[in-house]
């Protein structure tokens, strides 16, 4: 199973040092607010993490294998850890190349490789991590951090099965700058024996197998936190054996020391030789007595070439209980610039570790020479800071650089997704704006149409009332006039006069009822519920003295007509009968109502004098108006008996 360094904040969003193929799917699952929060979280984390400050000057660059013409070759590196010990993290630091177009990039980092761990009884070991092209580790200048919690081993091996090219000639090769194997905060690979499948370069070259575990990496600790501190450098001429003494205040089980060289990266190119102030030979002693009467030698450091020094000189030694630590420059650095010549010593920081804790932090440092130098305080040797801020533990430093790589690889992907969402949101807002305009226009149109419909309805209602009043009351008013004339003529005959007046009274009451009926037609309930009965009853009343025949066909379909149309159809028929009674002088009337599936046909014919004298062989105006209100077609012609024939056709 592939094991890659993860930060807790990245687990939920993206994994591995490069952006995997499935990350786009994970981003699709996030809301816009979550993406904005993720981008803000990335920016906040980047502000807190160590930065890539690359070394300058001359120094070792790790190890490289022999070259190949293709990638399908195997190279391996094995580090002996001595005894079998628990390890929980392995760090691979790439060799860094300055490309003229792309800037700094990895050089010769393997495309596919396994990491195995084992002991001397198990020469094959167990693969604890496996990486391939799908993990997309490259490009990178950051270290690759591989967790391996729960692993116990006396050796670890990196086996590359697919190589990448080196920049300057395109040859396939395996290159690494440093390999660190951590147990807690302790780098168990520091200065341990190393073997490789390719032969080693001879002494004096910058690439040797032992440089993989010398503790020198291509970065400077730039934590971007804490106060800056100017490295301590002594005056020139401090004697043949300048000495620093540190009182740890209590006896401590010491096992490691880190000597931070004077910071040189203040200008480009640097103005000071590499190893400035660092003795060529240095002895470190420990004691429990202040006079070092019980001194024991902890370590000897000797610089045989320019590749034996770097930003941090790290050395482990067998654990020793000491309170006092003394650094003796057996062969001090010699200053020889600007006509000034003499011995000199300087460091940015001295860290002394007991159980993975820097017990020298904040402790007093004494020298056996006059240490005054303008702007350089000897207290800077144990203040825990360098030129760039707080000095980080090596493991924390590697972790933060790996986290920075992950976040910087993730950030443009999240930003691109956010921009895509913003663009889509802008388009949607334009669509919504257009839709809002259309809705507003639609609302205005609906309001206008509604007003037009209401005005039309009012107009039609008025027409209906006028037609109803004309059709229903016309005959009654005409009859009232006739009865009034008869009453005048019978004024000398009280009996006839009383009879005419009674008839006149009854007719006026019916006329009043008819007026109320006409004005309430729209709200009337139960009106013309049985159209056929109403037609028969009305024809019997109006045509009481005439011979009348009425026939129906398709009676059941008439019940499906809307009530308003039934009323209009009934009033049209009533107006036809009234016209026959008033104008035709007919003695016979025939009515036929035929209701088919999609058409109703009403025919009223008489044997009277026809329409010639009356209306120019045309449809009477009252019938035209009633037909228009009904939405039907009306026509007039001659009947078989020579009278008039009115035909109404109403589509359902």
pLDDT in tens, 410-454: 999 999 999 999 999 999 999 999 999 999 999 999 999 988 987
Return the CATH number of 55-221, one of 3.40.50.150, 2.60.120.260, 3.40.140.10, 3.40.50.9100.
2.60.120.260
Per-range mean pLDDT, top range of 294-298, 500-504, 515-519: 294-298
Q: Is the pLDDT of residue 25 over 70?
A: no
Please compute the mean of the pLDDT values over residues 234-254 and round it to a whole number: 96
Please compute the mean of the pLDDT values over residues 90-101 and round it to a whole number: 94
How far is Cα 375 from Cα 229, in angstroms, rounded to an integer? 10
Per-range mean pLDDT, top range of 117-121, 355-359, 584-588: 355-359
pTM: 0.68
Same CATH topology for 55-221 and 224-390: the answer is: yes
Assigned superfamily of 224-390: Galactose-binding domain-like (2.60.120.260)
Q: Is the pLDDT of residue 14 over 50?
A: no
pLDDT in tens, 184-195: 999 999 999 999
Q: Are 469 and 512 in contact (CB under 8 A)?
A: no
Please compute the mean of the pLDDT values over residues 578-606 and round it to a whole number: 89
Say if residue 269 is preceded by a cis peptide, omega within 30 of 0: yes
Please compute the mean of the pLDDT values over residues 199-209 and round it to a whole number: 88
Six-digit token pair at 7? 């930060």
pLDDT in tens, 54-73: 988 889 999 999 999 999 99
Residue among 123, 55, 80, 101 nearest 260 (CA):
55
Q: Is the pLDDT of residue 523 over 50?
A: no
Q: What is the dihedral of CA 543, 544, 547, 552, to 10 degrees?
A: 60
Could you give the C-alpha distances from 484 to 25, 131, 480, 541, 545, in angstroms and in order?
Answer: 98, 119, 6, 21, 21
pLDDT at 560: 77
Where do the domains of the chain lie?
55-221, 224-390, 527-652
Q: DSSP letter string over 333-353?
A: EEEEETTEEEEE-EESEEEEE
Q: Is the pLDDT of residue 630 over 90?
A: no
Q: Is the pLDDT of residue 525 over 60?
A: no
pLDDT at 515: 67
How far is Cα 419 from Cα 423, in angstroms, rounded to an integer? 6
Q: Is the pLDDT of residue 78 over 90?
A: yes
Q: DSSP letter string over 381-413?
A: GGSSEETTEEPPPHHHHHHHHHHHHHHHHHHHH
Residue among 170, 137, 141, 152 nearest 5 (CA):
137
pLDDT greater at residue 475 or residue 323? 323
Decide: residue 269, CB within 10 A, 0-12 exposed, 13-18 middle, 19+ buried.
exposed
Which residue do the tokens 């050395």 mark?
315
Tell me the residue ranges of DSSP E strands in 12-95. Answer: 53-54, 63-64, 75-93
pLDDT at 461: 62
pLDDT at 386: 92
Residue among 618, 596, 594 nearest 604 (CA):
594
**φ, ψ at 376 (rounded to 5°):** -120, 115
Q: Is the pLDDT of residue 589 over 90?
A: yes
Lowest mean pLDDT among 253-257, 537-541, 640-644: 537-541
Assign 1 a pLDDT band (cuts: 50, 70, 90).
Answer: very low
Q: Domain 527-652 class?
A: alpha beta
pLDDT at 521: 52
How far is Cα 312 from Cα 298, in angstroms, rounded to an integer? 18
Q: Is the pLDDT of residue 19 over 50?
A: no
Q: Is the pLDDT of residue 15 over 60?
A: no
Say if residue 139 is preceded by a cis peptide, omega within 30 of 0: yes
Q: Is the pLDDT of residue 9 over 50?
A: no
Residue among 232, 235, 231, 233 nearest 342 (CA):
235
Q: Is the pLDDT of residue 495 over 70?
A: yes
Q: DSSP letter string over 552-611?
A: EE-HHHHTTS-HHHHHHHHHHHHHHHHHIIIII--SEEEEEEEE-SSEEEEEEEESSS-S
- Per cent of the chain over pLDDT 70 is 88
Assign 349 a pLDDT band (cuts: 50, 70, 90).
Answer: very high
pLDDT at 4: 36
Could you give the C-alpha distances from 573 to 339, 391, 538, 551, 603, in angstroms and in order?
Answer: 135, 110, 9, 13, 9
């Amino acid at each position: 199973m592939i094991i890659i360094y993860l930060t807790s904040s990245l687990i939920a969003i993206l994994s591995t040092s490069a952006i995997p193929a499935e990350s786009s799917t994970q981003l699709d699952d996030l809301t816009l607010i979550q993406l904005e929060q993720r981008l803000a979280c990335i920016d906040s984390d980047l502000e807190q993490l160590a930065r890539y400050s690359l070394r300058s000057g001359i120094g070792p660059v790790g190890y490289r294998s022999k070259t190949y013409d293709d990638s399908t070759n195997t190279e391996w590196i094995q580090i002996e850890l001595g005894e079998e010990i628990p390890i929980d993290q392995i760090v691979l630091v790439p060799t860094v190349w300055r490309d003229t177009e792309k800037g700094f990039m990895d050089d010769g980092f393997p495309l596919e490789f396994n990491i195995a761990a084992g002991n001397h009884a198990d020469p094959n070991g167990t693969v604890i991590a496996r990486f391939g092209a799908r993990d997309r580790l490259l490009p990178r200048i950051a270290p690759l951090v591989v967790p391996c919690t729960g692993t116990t081993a006396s050796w670890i091996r990196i086996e590359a099965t697919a190589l990448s090219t080196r920049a300057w000639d395109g040859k396939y090769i395996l290159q690494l700058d440093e390999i660190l194997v951590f147990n807690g905060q302790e780098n168990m690979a520091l200065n341990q024996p190393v073997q490789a499948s390719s032969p080693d370069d001879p002494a004096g070259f910058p690439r040797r197998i032992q440089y993989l575990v010398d503790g020198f990496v291509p970065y400077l600790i730039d934590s971007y936190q804490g106060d800056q501190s100017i490295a301590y450098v002594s005056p020139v001429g401090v004697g043949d054996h300048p000495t620093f003494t540190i009182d740890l205040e209590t006896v401590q089980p010491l096992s490691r020391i880190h000597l931070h060289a004077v910071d040189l990266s203040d200008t480009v190119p640097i103005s000071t030789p590499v190893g400035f102030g660092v003795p060529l030979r240095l002895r470190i002693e420990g004691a429990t007595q202040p006079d070092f009467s019980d001194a024991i030698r902890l370590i000897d450091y000797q610089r045989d070439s320019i590749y034996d020094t770097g930003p941090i000189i790290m050395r482990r030694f067998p654990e020793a209980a000491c309170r006092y630590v003394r650094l003796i420059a057996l062969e001090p650095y010699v200053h020889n610039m600007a006509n000034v010549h003499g011995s000199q010593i300087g460091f940015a920081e001295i860290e002394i570790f007991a159980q993975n804790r820097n017990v020298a932090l904040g402790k007093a440092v004494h020298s056996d020479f006059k240490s005054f130098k303008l702007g350089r305080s000897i207290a800077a040797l144990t203040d825990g800071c360098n030129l760039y801020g707080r000095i980080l533990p090596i493991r924390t430093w590697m972790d933060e650089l790996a986290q920075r790589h992950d976040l910087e690889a993730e950030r443009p992907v999240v930003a691109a997704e956010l921009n895509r969402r913003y663009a889509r949101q802008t388009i949607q807002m334009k669509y919504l704006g257009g839709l809002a305009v259309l809705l507003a226009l639609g609302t205005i149109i609906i309001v206008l149409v509604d007003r037009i419909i209401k005005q039309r309805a009012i107009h039609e209602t008025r027409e209906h009332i006028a037609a109803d009043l004309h059709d229903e009351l016309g005959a009654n008013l005409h009859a009232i006039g006739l009865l009034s004339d008869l009453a005048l003529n019978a004024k000398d005959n009280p009996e006839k006069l009383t009879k005419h007046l009674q008839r006149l009274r009854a007719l006026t009451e019916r006329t009043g009822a008819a007026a109320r009926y006409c004005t309430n037609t729209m709200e009337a309930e139960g009106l013309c519920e049985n159209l056929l009965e109403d037609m028969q009853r009305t024809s019997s009343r109006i045509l009481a003295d005439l011979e009348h025949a009425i026939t129906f066909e398709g009676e059941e379909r008439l019940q499906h007509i809307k009530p308003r149309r039934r009323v209009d159809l009934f009033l049209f028929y009533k107006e036809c009968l009234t016209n026959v009674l008033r104008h035709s002088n007919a003695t016979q009337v025939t009515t036929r109502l035929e209701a088919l599936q999609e058409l109703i046909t009403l025919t009223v014919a008489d044997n009277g004098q026809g329409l010639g004298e009356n209306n120019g062989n045309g449809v009477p105006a009252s019938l035209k108006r009633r037909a228009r209100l009904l939405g039907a077609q009306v026509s007039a012609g001659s009947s078989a008996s020579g009278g008039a024939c009115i035909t109404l056709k109403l589509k359902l």
